[in-house]
Structure 1
């Protein structure tokens, strides 16, 4: 079974987006080229597929196809599976993208059963929350940025019960960012 990895930036107080859940305004993220390059190598070693919701696909497509560097190379080469209830949503604007229309949770369950590398989810907030609630997440790769937002959208909001996690790795970068890996 392919593992599902949630990878995202969070603030020290656990928010991955502002109060309205808008991921397009991620000005709290501390840029760290070393961390991004290290993460790209980790992705390349274990994962070959990105899973995103419709809006995150559009947000990523606005940046990554023309970006440079290790992370851009991996993202652009990876298969991008776009979860959408709209069966007519056109994903051909970004090479290596496929539409998974219908019930997103069922699409991810089926995808986990196929052959291949790990699946990586980058967002958005609602997509990640639904995957967590359905017990589909196997690992969390959290980039903890040295900032407290005070309010915002957390991927762990509204969980019905506690979820124990096991810390696998942690690395501190000169920017103050912590890269942590937890397994379920």
Structure 2
């Protein structure tokens, strides 16, 4: 079965964006991006792949799921085929959205549809944001990978919004990346190793 992996940047105090939804608050260094894109080349947006010299095929993810607000910057930038045209792109929206080519729009009972998606053949599924969507899917998330940035935001969009309830996770590793970012990995639910 495919795993749903919440792989996202966060501040030390648990926010994935500032109160306006902007992620420019996270410092970005070329060495950090090089490390991240070497690990998961598929997470480099399509319009930046040439700039960063990313040519590799997907290693872990073949599908990306995001909320409407996470998808909005691609729309604002005029990326007709979305930010990740090299992946199957699914935007979760509870309202009508224009459906650009290469992007699927999903509404209704999201949890049921994502559970079905996990049972399809393929690589793992990348949940790249946002916090409200992560809160809705928390029971289906198998792994959480946090790119913890050395910054405190004080407020903003939390890692998990909505109905996320307390739960135990299994910490399986923390790795320092260039630029002061730490990659922390946690397993949830049935993925926990005893």
Aligning the two structures, in what range does the TM-score lie when normalised by the shorter sequence?
0.7 to 0.9
Could you report, residue by residue, the CA deviation over 1:78-106 in whole angstroms, capped at 9, with x for unpaired residues? 110111233x52222xx532222322222
Gaps of 5+ in 1: 67-71
CA, structure 1 residues 159+104, in 2 after alignment: closer, same or farther (shift >3 Å)? closer
Alignment of 1:17-166 (within 5 A): 17-18=17-18, 20=19, 22-23=20-21, 25-43=22-40, 44-63=58-77, 65=79, 75-86=84-95, 88-92=96-100, 95-132=101-138, 135-156=139-160, 159-161=164-166, 163-166=167-170
1:180 CA displacement:
1.7
Runs of 4+ in 1 over 6 A off after TM superposition: none
1:64 CA displacement:
9.3
Q: Please give the root-mean-square deviation of Cα atoms over the aligned residues, in Å.
A: 2.4
Could you report, residue by residue, the CA deviation over 1:95-142 in whole angstroms, capped at 9, with x for unpaired residues? 53222232222221111111111111111121111111xx11111111
2:34 and 2:99 map into 1 onto residues whose CA distance is 27
Provide TM-score, normalisation by structure 2. Answer: 0.75
Number of matched pairs: 168
Gaps of 5+ in 2: 41-57, 189-194
